A = this chain, B = another copy of it.
Amino acid sequence: MNTPTSPSFRPLYDQIKILITQSLIAGEWRPGDAIPSEIDLAGRFKVSQGTVRKAIDELAAENILIRRQGKGTFVASHSQERSSTRFLRIARDDGITEYPSSRLLSVTRERAPEHTARLLDLRTGASIFCIKRLLSFEGVPRIFDEIHVPASTFKGLDEAMIRNFPGSLYSFFETHFGIAMIRAEEHIKAVPAGAAESELLQVVPQSPLLRVDRVAFTYGDRPVEWRRGLCHTERFSYVTEMS
């Protein structure tokens, strides 16, 4: 029951949000797809168009759906040009937008240590993939990434697949595994460059690097990626906004 006074009360539009999210989790509509029109959804969920509208409004505000007047409402995708850089916050100090090129270093299968398992909501020792890569701007290496994902969620992932894929990593995850990243939390520190990093990023050992730890989530706030990026911030900055 969901009477207005019951303790588990949720407004209708919030319940619709959950129902839409469940369809996204189930893969009924995949990234890039159009979802049914507001009127269709209103009929399906037996509520008014205005209530569906409010639910979609909130999902659009969370960048999970994208509204396009006259065309319809679409499932947000990292394959779209507009959001290809949504999760990349490193930018040139001079303001010029430049897309980094990626060099894949390795893809290995490993057992999740306790720390990683906790972040990804797995059992310690669960099978994970570890992807290492180097991002370069203008040919200059700037970011060394170590990316960890559960093997169970990304069955069959291998180096060749990534290498042959033209787009971003998150776009790759979407098209090959149907996993859409919708949110991420980052913890940032300043750390001295170790031996491996200083070699890869071509900096002297011990020089300051930005260490960006990220946990990324898919629909239903399920963590599906944990990565550590080491970033050489000469002429580049991590840019963020708050309000």
Contact = CB atoms under 8 A, between A and B. Distances in A.
Interface of A: 61-63, 86-87, 89, 93, 182-192, 206-210, 213, 231, 233, 236-243
22 contacts: A62-B243, A63-B243, A89-B242, A93-B187, A183-B243, A184-B241, A184-B242, A186-B241, A187-B238, A187-B239, A188-B210, A188-B233, A189-B210, A189-B237, A189-B238, A190-B190, A190-B191, A190-B210, A192-B207, A207-B208, A208-B208, A213-B237
Contact of A242 (B87, B192, B210, B233): B87
B242 A86 contact: yes
Nearest to A230: B190
Contact of A183 (B191, B207, B242): B242
Contacts of A237: 187-189, 213
Contacts of A62: 243
A185 B238 CA distance: 11
A237 B190 CA distance: 9
Chain A's interface: helix, strand, loop or mixed, by majority? strand
A62 B188 CA distance: 24
Which of A185, A186, A191, A210 has the most chain B CB atoms closer than 10 A to its own CB? A210
Contacts of A86: 242
Contacts of A209: 190, 208
Contacts of A242: 86-87, 89, 183-184, 186
Contacts of A233: 188-191
Q: Which of A61, A93, A189, A241 has the most CB of B within 10 A?
A: A189
Contacts of A87: 242
Contacts of A184: 241-243
A192 B208 contact: yes
Given A185-B239, A186-B242, 10 more contacts: A61-B61, A183-B241, A183-B243, A186-B239, A186-B240, A188-B237, A189-B236, A190-B231, A192-B208, A208-B209
